[in-house]
Structure 1
Amino acid sequence: MSNQVQADARRPIGVFDSGVGGLTVLDAIHRALPGEDLVYLGDTARVPYGTKSPESVARYARQAALALVQRNVKALVIACNTASAVAVELLRDSYPTMPILGVVEPGAKASCEASTSGHIGIIATESTIAGGAYQAAVRRLRPSAVVHAQACSLFVALAEEGWTEGELLERVLERYLGSLQQSDAPGIDTLVLGCTHFPVLKNAIANVLGSQVRLVDSAETTAAALTELLTDSGELHPEPDRQGEIRYLVTDGTARFARVAGTFFSRPVRAEEVELIDIPQLQK
């Protein structure tokens, strides 16, 4: 390996989301590739993306991507379902030589491979379900699949409040997930956690649905897809046994980000570790 190739491979991986939920993706990447340096950007000044128009989301994604590209990242991960659905191809066109990955395709692919019956459930926020990106991705990969989509927007608030167990959470989960297991129709055998907040509720969801339903964690599938992508392109860090560094960037609220981050990341994040930035303002 040449010195230049080694230098390029030592560059960090950029990950961006509208807020804190994408930290589940960052955590999965850190566990899969502990030797890689990571830069996480949470656009907390404009969260949530899900209520914005596709045009605004595309603009925000371009701005976040540029902020990370300016920090010399070697790959981009869109750790936001809304931005992945709207902007992944746009960013690939903008940066054709850079590996760019969203969370939708890996999750859809894993669900198609995991399902025996072809009855696949998808839970996500209302905007993600309404946009239909997951449903389209599953049907593109497995045209015969029967897709059961359910919006579960309240799960986001529960996750951010740290309500990851308990009777109240189980009742909410049962109310939302009951429609996926109708007694008069074949139930799902695979469920995609189609929002980056939802992996922190995985154990509780598994308890409600039972062991017959396989859960597909889009954070873990994205980390696996990134590992494969960087391996194929020869861009894995040349010292895999090292301990990679993580930088946190936000556009607002460093203290709140640090406080909530502990629910989504496997180690505490201190407020002094979080850098407040202005991202490039692109108008078109």
Structure 2
Amino acid sequence: MNIVILANRDLASNFALNLLVPHLSQHNVSLFLSAKVGGSDLKPVEIQTLSFFEQTLLTQLLSPLLEKLNNHHGFKSFGQISKEFVQPVSELNEINSPLGLAKISKLQPDVILSIRYGRILKEAVLALPPLGVLNLHSGLLPDYRGVMASFWAMLNGEKQLGTSLHYIDDASIDTGRIIAQSYMPVRPHQSYLWHVLQLYIGGCELVTQALQTLALGEQLKTTEQQQGRYYSFPNEQAIKRFEEQGLSLVKEDELVALIHQYYF
């Protein structure tokens, strides 16, 4: 199949791609990246710090070092993983523009897969792939739609988190038919970022299974979503409540184990 992946230029997207891409060798895969998720509104300092670990750490610090290594066997940067695709990885923020549509249409995608992509896909894009557009959402739908779903689930005292693989049926956010969900228990002593990364282990297994089914010419079984709740970036009050519960957005010591996966 011709598969177009839309992801974000951040650590979690890169982590997910490193898990997923080895299972896509029989397909023609292209990757486009958005620069970020959400608007440019000034966010609390804690969210800005999180952004450093989610984006700057990988793109400006870790990736340049990885790309200088010889005989590298660990997780790959976006540049290194680009060799697995039919064309170099490129940034595409205006996907709904005529130029963006032309870039996607030229690849004749059978299916489009979105993982943390930072733009809402409109009808013209959604109409391109005959097998539809799939999205891997790092939250359990329909209760946790929107941004930082795992943060809100942890804040709300949920005992488990999960991912939802669903179709994008229209330009609304996280409302499409659910294909499958994965689950993992909350570990309060681990950070929000740790949970997000671990969620993609089970989530990418769901994606692999779904793509295998579509490649066989079979339809994916789905369930319609019921009424849910949409969340946006947390404000200072929500972050304070998060911390008062003994929870953390990032723990620097967890990054040692993460960096080991990239180097070794």
Is the structural similarity TM-score above 0.5? Answer: no
Structure with the greater relative contact order (CA < 8 A, sep ≥ 6): 1 or 2? 1
Say which structure is richer in helix: 1
Give the TM-score band, short-chain normalised: 0.3 to 0.5
Q: Normalised by the size of structure 2, how large is the TM-score?
A: 0.39
